[in-house]
A and B are shown apart, each in its own frame.
Chain A
Amino acid sequence: MTAIAEFFRELRSKYGINLTILYDPFDIDRFLLGMWVTVELFLISAIVSVAIGLVGAGLLSLPNRFGQGLVRSYVAFFRNTPPLVQMYFFYFGLGALVPPGTNALGMPVERVSNFTWALVSLSLYAGAFNIEIFRSGVEAIHKSIREAATVLGYSKLSAFIYVMVPLAWRISLPALCNNMIELLKTTTLAYAIGVPELLYASNQIWSDSLNTFEMMNVLMVVYLALVGIVAWVMYRWERALRLPGFGAA
C-alpha cells in the first residue's frame, strides 16, 4: 500500500501528475465514499424503478381506462421533462412542503434528506421508461402463445403471470439494460442538490488539490468501468435466461 502511495507521490513530484486519490488517505476516503453513494443511489433506484415499471405495465394491460390514463400521463410527463428540473422540483419544490423536524439540540433539520429526494426523483424518472419497456415486451409476444395457454386451461390471470410475464421479461432485458445504464449516468444529477456522490466528491477533491484535469480523467474511467460492469451483469443475465428457439439467436 505504502509502495503504491510512494509511486504516485513521486509521479507528482517528477511529472506533475497529481493523483491524490491514490496516496492521500483523506482523498481516498472521500472518493470511495462518493463511489459508494453512487452505487447505492443506482442500486436502490434501479430496484424501485423496475417495480414501478412492472406495476405500470400491469395497469396498462388491465381494461381500466382510468388506470391507463393515469399511467400514460405519468409516463408522458416524466419522459418529456428534464430530469434535472424534476430533481429540483422534488428537492426544492416538494421538499419545501415537508415541515422540518428538530434534532436533539432543537435545531431545525430536514425530515427528508437530499439523498432520499434524489432516490425518489431518479426512481420516478427511470420508472417511466421502464413502463414503456415492459409494455412493449408484453406486446411483442405473439398472441398465439396466449391462445395456447388458454387452450391448456390457464385462466387469464395465470396465463399472464406464468406465461406472458416470463417471456416479456426476456424480451425486455436488452432495453432494460440500456435504461439501467442511462440511470447510472443520471445519478450524476444528484450532484446538483448536494448529494455527496462520485462527481460531488471528485469536485471537492479537485477544488482542494487543484488537480482538475487528473480527476476529470479518473472520473471518466470510473464511470466507464461502472457502466461496463452494469452492461456485463445484464448481458450475463440475458444469456442465463435465454430460451432455446425463442427470440433472436
Chain B
Amino acid sequence: MTGKYGPHVGIDIAHPAEQSVWAQYRGLLAIFAIFPAVLGFVLVLAVLAGADFGLMNALWKWTPFIFNGFLYNVAMSLFAIGFGTIGGIFLGMGQVAPSRLVTIPSRVATQIFRNAPWLVLLFYCIFLVPYQVTIGGTTYQVPNWLRASIGFTIPVMANFSEIVRGAVQSIPTGQWEAARSLGYKWSRTMLSIILPQCIKRMIPPWMNLYAILLMATPLASIVGVEEAMTNTRTALQAEANSRLLLPMYAYLLAWFFFYCYPIARLSMYLESRFETR
C-alpha cells in the first residue's frame, strides 16, 4: 500500500478488493468452527473416562430430559433479561437525572445489587417472594422457576443500569446543550436524542450481560428449580454409574457452551464493527 505520499500516511481506507466477503465474515464463521472442536473435547473426555457405547447410549438417552431442563434455563434468562432491561433503563436514567433526589437512590440501589453475589440475591427472592398470590379471589401458585427469575432480574437490572449510565455519559455534552438551546426538556432530550444514540453502544455489553445471566441460571438448581443442572444430577442418580459422572458433566458444559459462545462471538464482532465507525 505504498501510495503517492509514501508508505501508510493518513487514514487507512479499507480496499474493497482486499475486504473480500470471506474476510468480512471470517469472525462469524469462526463461531461455527469451534463447535466440532467442543464436540471432540466431549468425546475425548468420554473416552478418557473409560467410555464405551453403553455410556454413550446413556448420554443419548437422557438428552431429552436435559433439554427439558435447559428450556427452563432459557426461560428464566429471557424473563430476567426482559424485565431487567426495562428496570435497568429506568434505574440508569435515574443515575444521570438532574435531581439529586433521584440520582442518589438510583446510584445506591445500582451499587448494592451490582456488588452482591447473585446467589445471595437468589436466596433473598426465594425466601421473600410469596409462594402464592391471590388476585381477584383466585389464588395462583408462584412456581419456583418464576421466583428464581425474579432473583435473577435484580442483578441484571443493576448491571444494565451501569451500562445505560456508561453509554449516556459517553455521548458528548454538546448534544445536551444543543437540545437545551432548542428548547427540549430533560426528558425529551433523554428519550428522543440521547437514548437512541446509546442503543448501538449498549448492544454488545447487553449481549455479554445476557450470556453471564444464562451462565448464572444453573444457580437455580440450588434453590430447587428443575433446570438442566438438576436434571443432570437426577439422571446421574438414576444411572448410579460413577464412570458416567465426568462425561455427563462435560456434556452439560457443552450444552451451555453451544448456547453462550455464539453470543459472545457475536458481541465481540458487533463491538469491533461499531468501534470503527
Contact = CB atoms under 8 A, between A and B. Distances in A.
B257 A224 contact: no
Interface size class of A (residues with CB under 8 A): 35 or more
B119 A189 contact: yes
A227 B112 CA distance: 10
A77 to B, nearest CB: 7
B242 interface: yes
Contact of B253 (A81, A181, A192): A81
A88 interface: yes
Interface string B241-277: 0100110111011001100110010000000000000
Contacts of A237: none
A2 to B, nearest CB: 31
B161 interface: no
Contacts, number: 105
B120 A216 contact: yes
- Tell me the dominant secondary structure on chain B's binding face: helix
Interface residues of B, number: 40
A92 B215 contact: no
Given A93-B246, A185-B118, A82 B216 contact: yes
Which of B112, B124, B253: most chain A CB closer than 10 A? B253
Nearest to B211: A80
A84 to B, nearest CB: 5
A94 B245 CA distance: 8
A27 to B, nearest CB: 18
Given A80-B260, A96-B242, A85 B252 contact: yes
Contacts of B257: 77, 80-81
Contacts of A86: 253
Which of B38, B112, B215, B221: most chain A CB closer than 10 A? B215
Contacts of B242: 96
B101 interface: no
A46 B214 CA distance: 24
Contacts of B211: 80
A97 B49 contact: yes
A213 B34 contact: no
A93 B34 contact: no
B89 to A, nearest CB: 22
Given A96-B246, A189-B119, A191-B119, A85 B37 contact: no
A181 B250 CA distance: 27
A94 B246 contact: yes
A76 B124 CA distance: 32
B222 A191 contact: yes
Interface in A86-100: 86, 88-89, 92-94, 96-97
Nearest to A72: B34
Contacts of A227: 115
B127 interface: yes
B229 A76 contact: no
A195 to B, nearest CB: 13
B217 interface: yes
Contacts of A58: none
Which of A76, A83, A93, A227: most chain B CB closer than 10 A? A93
4 tightest A-B CB contacts, nearest first:
A93-B246, A89-B249, A82-B215, A185-B117
